[in-house]
Chain A
Amino acid sequence: MKVHAAIVGSGNIGTDLLMKALRSPWLVPRWMVGIEPGSEGLARARELGVKTTHDGVDGLLPHLEADEIRVAFDATSAYAHAENSRKLTERGVRVVDLTPAAIGPYCVPPVNLEQHLDGRAMNLNMVTCGGQATIPMVAAVSRVQPVEYAEIVATVASKSAGPGTRNNIDEFTRTTARGVEVVGGARKGKAIIILNPAEPPLIMRDTIHCLTEGEPDKDKIRDSVERMVEAVQKYVPGYALKNGPVFDGRRVSMFMEVAGLGDYLPKYAGNLDIMTAAALSIGERLAQHLQGAAR
């Protein structure tokens, strides 16, 4: 039996997540929640056999028990998320937060998802797209030896950066830097984001620089990085180490490219795809855990 899920937010991200979730062996998306009656995303969801409401989370709440919704993904906005999350978690629904609200702890699946299965945190936050793409690499180095400082540069196609990111780009830099520290394990983190308008749009690029404490253990770091890339590739097949790790004194640098699956969002928008793919992987792991607990 698959665990039933709801997707809150019927925009591009919600729609891409829906298409991924429909293929899931662990989850079945039963509801899609929007706020516009004429929403294209809701219409598409109905075509795909998913129930919809345009009354926001309030339109979903009466159906939680009957439709056995155990997991919800929120792809709305930081502004709307707090209320959505409160309403869902108090009814026992585990919430995966794709907005920048960060009410719950940051979760980057291959790094710390296992710590968050038990439900002490009913809400898990996805950090940022840049965080999902780079924090695994920081963690790959910091699990070998202490990282004094880590810095990430995320370059995304202009077309893949929506108004939410653009109106509050500081939120990206601050939240990502914090995630690099809290989840990545760097003592100090810094994040930089660049928007590039080239046509055809460039595939998301991410550079990760770490300064290790003491000389980097090259062999162990190479091995750890390789294993971490494979772990991310399980849910983002287009996650690729283009160059590196480069060692230069205490500096360790990795150059990544992140291509999306092109489900609903274009392939170049690896920054958005890695969010929906990571969110789904969290949801699937929660589903496995919930089923295990039920047995």
Chain B
Amino acid sequence: MKLRGKRVLLHEMSLRDGMHPKRHQITLDQMVAIATALDEAGVPLIEVTHGDGLGGASINYGFPAHSDREYLEAVCPKMKRARISALLLPGIGTVDELRMAVDCGVGCIRVATHSTEADVSRQHIGLSRKLGVDTVGFLMMAHMIAPAALLEQAKLMESYGAQTVYVTDSAGYMLPDDVSARVALLRAELSTDTQVGFHGHHNLAMGIANSLAAIEAGAYRIDGSCAGLGAGAGNTPLEVFVAVLNRLGVEHGVDLYKISDAAEDLVVPLMDQPVRIDRDALILGYAGVYSSFLLFAQRAAEKYGLSSRDILVELGRRKTVGGQEDMIEDVALDMVKARQG
């Protein structure tokens, strides 16, 4: 793999995707401490939002320890170099929350839709550009459609004003060839001014391999998370990825020792359970299921005396997409009915 001399922009996820395994209960002090350490380590972009994005506070996804505004107001002013980003899923959050985030000092808005539904992002991407912040389109569950179909959706986001479009492997399902095919096509067909990004999940332990494949295929932005703190088996473990990039001679500007200290000293101690490829996270990647369903399925399994793996497989069979957390209890109740005959 010849990546020497390439440059990438790393985007840290532990304070947003990492909210999922924390059930959105990260404290303000923890947020500030981790973000400050990441800033100090040279991480250029740090995402801070409810796990399901702005406006995610809900029964369906979980009420967070603090509001998006409280988190952003605590973190943004503390940053010396890093820019803070916020995620927004149209249908969950609205332009009101987008404006709030920008008012708090967010410098990057990432608008996420299911990989086939880019046209719901027009108003949010448009407003984000109008407000003058770095604007990213984020195509989730990108494994579910073919590269050519994904390109059409990426072009829509680009036409609304997205300056970067992400191939997002929300289920941690993709293998390196799947990533290469999608990233390479986007890179070849989008404007040269548009950057391509890749967001991975580690459910099949492909986080690093997929991210390298993405860089090789032309991606400039890569998401990862300290100690992998993220939904499912977590995101691409960023401190490990930094080490690998150092070995390959890819420029990224992050200090390996400092980010690995942040991972070890700050992120690992706050984990409620090890973020690892347990049998359920494995099934997410194997069956192509949205990673943040993990804990919900485990809780439903416990409540109703079912196998969380069976619940996840059924959610995959029903072709659920990101955000359909409400279907988890529904599926569990159906399984209870079926068991009772």
Interface residues of A (CB under 8 A from B): 149, 151, 153, 155, 158, 163, 166-170, 172-174, 190, 192-198, 202, 205, 207, 209, 211, 242-244, 246, 251, 253, 255
Distance from A156 Cβ to chain B, minimum over Cβ atoms (Å): 10
A192 and B120 in contact, given A197-B114, A243-B333, A255-B333 (Cβ under 8 angstroms): no
Task: Find A194's partner among B96, B119, B323 (CB 8 Å cutoff).
Answer: B323
Q: Main secondary structure on chain A at its contact with chain B?
A: strand
Q: Which 4 residue pairs spanning A and B have beta carbons closest together?
A: A198-B319, A207-B326, A243-B333, A170-B94
Inter-chain contact B319/A196, CB cutoff 8 Å: yes
Distance from B73 Cβ to chain A, minimum over Cβ atoms (Å): 22
Distance from A165 Cβ to chain B, minimum over Cβ atoms (Å): 8
Q: How many CB-defined contacts (below 8 Å) exist between A and B? A: 91
Inter-chain contact B333/A155, CB cutoff 8 Å: no
Inter-chain contact A209/B59, CB cutoff 8 Å: yes
Distance from A143 Cβ to chain B, minimum over Cβ atoms (Å): 20
In the bound complex, CA of A195 to CA of B319 (Å):
12
B271 in the interface (beta carbon within 8 A): no
Distance from B327 Cβ to chain A, minimum over Cβ atoms (Å): 7
Task: Find B58's partner among A151, A169, A194, A246 (CB 8 Å cutoff).
Answer: A151
Within 8 A of A (CB), among B98-151: 114, 116-117, 119-120, 122-123
Inter-chain contact B123/A168, CB cutoff 8 Å: yes
Q: Which residue of B lies closest to A149 (CB)?
A: B59
Inter-chain contact A194/B333, CB cutoff 8 Å: no
In the bound complex, CA of A198 to CA of B326 (Å):
17
Inter-chain contact B321/A196, CB cutoff 8 Å: yes
A243 and B330 in contact, given A194-B324, A196-B320, A207-B60 (Cβ under 8 angstroms): yes
Distance from A123 Cβ to chain B, minimum over Cβ atoms (Å): 26
Q: List the B side residues contacting A170 at CB < 8 Å.
A: 90, 94-96, 123
B216 in the interface (beta carbon within 8 A): no
Distance from B72 Cβ to chain A, minimum over Cβ atoms (Å): 20
Inter-chain contact B116/A192, CB cutoff 8 Å: no
B92 in the interface (beta carbon within 8 A): yes
Inter-chain contact B91/A194, CB cutoff 8 Å: yes
Q: List the A side residues contacting B60 at CB < 8 Å.
A: 151, 153, 192, 207, 209
In the bound complex, CA of A172 to CA of B90 (Å):
10
In the bound complex, CA of A242 to CA of B333 (Å):
9
Q: List the B side residues contacting A158 at CB < 8 Å.
A: 116-117
Q: List the A side residues contacting B114 at CB < 8 Å.
A: 195-197
Among B91, B92, B94, B327, which residue has the most Cβ atoms of chain A within 10 A? B91
B302 in the interface (beta carbon within 8 A): no
Q: List the B side residues contacting A155 at CB < 8 Å.
A: 324, 326-327
Since A151-B60, A153-B323, A192-B92 are in contact, a sample of 11 more A-B pairs with Cβ atoms closer than 8 Å, ordered by chain A residue number, is A155-B327, A166-B120, A169-B120, A170-B95, A172-B91, A195-B91, A211-B59, A243-B329, A244-B333, A255-B326, A255-B329
